[in-house]
Chains A and B, each alone.
Chain A
């Protein structure tokens, strides 16, 4: 059966119910061969259930999963050509680093010398010292254990590698390092990676494409760029991090009216059939002080506080009319000319805002 590369792994109307509760609702998705695909969603969005069905630890209530055209539903977990890196890593505590990595090869009956050679290759590839082979897994640090879990999964030589939030327990700096390493390993191996996380930021760094999940369904699928620039709704926009959201209703062909302040704001594009929704403006496109004075979309407010964010500096401005909190960012070396507690104008270009329905 020939399949084009656009549907390497295909999910067709997958639904999973636990009693009355629907964890995954009618999900259809096509994952391409060799891509880094990430499912993002808050806890309870169904992403873990989805991945557990894909590796064979749960059965879908309805729908079909196909890998290269072959139906996966009834294939037991130990017969699927896929492998997962667990959130808890699930390293075998009674086995050494080498024995952990070699586990799948031992099960498959690969001879010990060949196994050891492959395990040592993987240790090297994952930037672990080869003499870790005989070390106990519990003697290794968090980052090392992470790499061992990945090596163990790679040793299985899966057609798809699944990741269940493996980085969530690590501290910020180590997580950032491993995110990049993971992306490098994806490139080196050329394998299909399917990753789940609750952090869109993490997904952005690594993924070729992202699917955003909410309450068991998929809200949006696209490249990080597409999702960043065109979030389909307020949920997606806010999920990406700090944004200014303003509840608005349609005022004209290219304008909306703020529901709280009654002021009119220009937009560059009006979605078809829009009546009311939200205007989304990122803090980094907001202008403050002199830079905002000649803009059409303006709000007056008081600078309440400032926060140093490293390369940027963020201001919290409280609108005089509505007391709504606005966030504005400037580069660290180009701060706003005024002071905290000053009354200022803040504003944005119509093209820098995004208008979404509910």
Chain B
């Protein structure tokens, strides 16, 4: 027998402890998000308002009732939902194309959504506001359009191999991106162009209660659909032959994943614009914490994404006095250095 190397334990944290910690962090991040702003509302009052509305006892409406319940709570919840969705999509897409550095927007869906939204803004459909329903619907329509396009391009070669999907997604994405740039330049009106750029970089501004239902349902359904396939995802990342030997049909699984991730991405981009980096960073971070088992990775990525985007949106909203930063700007500024730090650590760990 070869001399046994001492069995080094992997650096994985107990999943239960981590989940509990993240739930606490989520509640804390939501509380902070609602309490900070142009007018600071103490945490205790935030919860008083929430309890009053949830239990429907309107006897003594406080001074901050409107700000908390109508403006900040829906926005904080939307941030959490979008973050959770991006965490899920990122994890699934990385397994789908078998690359831990893949981004949910790699497959061209967000470009289609952007084109749809731009078309609506430039044509003046969403005059009611950047987040008007018209723009969201157009963005989702655009997402579906690019999904269909990528599907058709990928299918022409027969199977849905990871490489084929990525190349199809990049080709379609670049093509639609070119159309987007053209539309931005044609926009003319400076005010409108600014609105377009703001949308492209992602924003949760103007979130209302009415906007929460669709992303909530989409995140929940996608989460269930992905969790049901968590073990199969573990097999899929090891390769098609391995998956087939374990009783998983890799092509069929990839088709299912592509549908689920595209629909969810479409919904997320429609309500928030293209928020970058979260879908790339969160699964990566979670993989370092709990390892590569998708049964843990999926729920933890959703939770981590929710915490992260809630916190980032608070920063985007409050960092500058006079105006809001697009959330995509903040995620990129924070995300890029964090990603590099994680990569360095991983390389060291493998040495």
Instruction: Tell whether A pairs with B.
Output: no
